[in-house]
């Protein structure tokens, strides 16, 4: 069980990507005050936690009831992540914030798909498969998920110092770079989903 929890921690760290989330957070909240950034950090982790823990509890049941396969979730999530990456590259997201001041960046893009990424949602569902893992094991995976979210929150809280170092121009550059990385990551998600689908078809 210890080996599984270590593997779960590595997978969830890679899919939630606290460091990448911090980079996106710095770029998206560059125009906010320090207090607003702190509140955004708390809301980001809270909303992402609700999504991921909710996925652990009812994600598999809900997808099965709706007839949605995990591969479809990965493919759809990859497309959404790609569109978000394009917004970061071309500045559409910042324009959207100016046009809609009531928009909560903690919900989109920070919590979803920034922290609770499509890969993270898919991972927590697979790592807590009701047909494979016992309830105590699933609880352990949930605790690991919350721990990584806690680390993410700490990194977001220190983003103020990072912004002071790189400045607003650096944050703008960081936005473009992270947009390209997210776009590339989304392509990987889509390609992996298509590859798995082809493998399943050939195996039948």
Place of tokens 């995976």: 141
Any idea what DSSP says for residue 133? Answer: S
Question: pLDDT digit string (tens) for 119-140?
Answer: 788 889 888 988 888 999 999 9
Quick one: tokens of 201?
């078809």
Q: How far apart are CA 23 and CA 156, in angstroms?
A: 9
Q: How high does pLDDT run on average in the chain?
A: 82
67 in the Ramachandran plot: left (φ > 0), alpha (ψ -120 to 50) or beta?
left
In this predicted structure, the answer to whether residue 106 has a pLDDT above a threshold of 60 is yes
pLDDT of residue 164: 78
Q: How far apart are CA 160 and CA 151, in angstroms?
A: 16
Q: How far apart are CA 57 and CA 40, in angstroms?
A: 25
pTM of the model: 0.74
In this predicted structure, the answer to whether residue 162 has a pLDDT above a threshold of 80 is no
The CA R_g of the chain, rounded to the nearest whole Å, is 17
């Amino acid at each position: 069980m210890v080996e599984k929890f270590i593997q779960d921690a590595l997978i969830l760290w890679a899919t939630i990507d606290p460091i990448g989330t911090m980079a996106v957070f710095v770029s998206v909240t560059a125009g906010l005050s320090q207090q607003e950034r702190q509140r955004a950090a708390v809301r980001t982790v809270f909303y992402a936690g609700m999504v991921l823990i909710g996925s652990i509890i009812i994600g598999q049941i809900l997808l099965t009831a709706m007839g949605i396969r995990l591969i479809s979730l990965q493919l759809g999530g990859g497309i959404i992540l790609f569109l978000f990456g394009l917004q970061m590259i071309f500045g559409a997201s910042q324009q959207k914030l100016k046009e809609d001041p009531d928009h909560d960046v903690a919900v989109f893009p920070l919590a979803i798909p920034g922290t609770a990424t499509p890969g993270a949602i898919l991972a927590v569902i697979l790592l807590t498969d009701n047909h494979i893992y016992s309830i105590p094991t699933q609880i352990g995976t949930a605790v690991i998920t919350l721990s990584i979210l806690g680390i993410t929150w700490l990194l977001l809280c220190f983003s103020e110092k990072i912004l002071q170092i790189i400045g607003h121009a650096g944050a703008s550059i960081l936005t473009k770079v992270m947009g390209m990385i997210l776009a590339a990551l989304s392509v990987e998600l889509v390609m992996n989903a298509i590859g798995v689908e082809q493998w399943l078809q050939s195996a039948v």
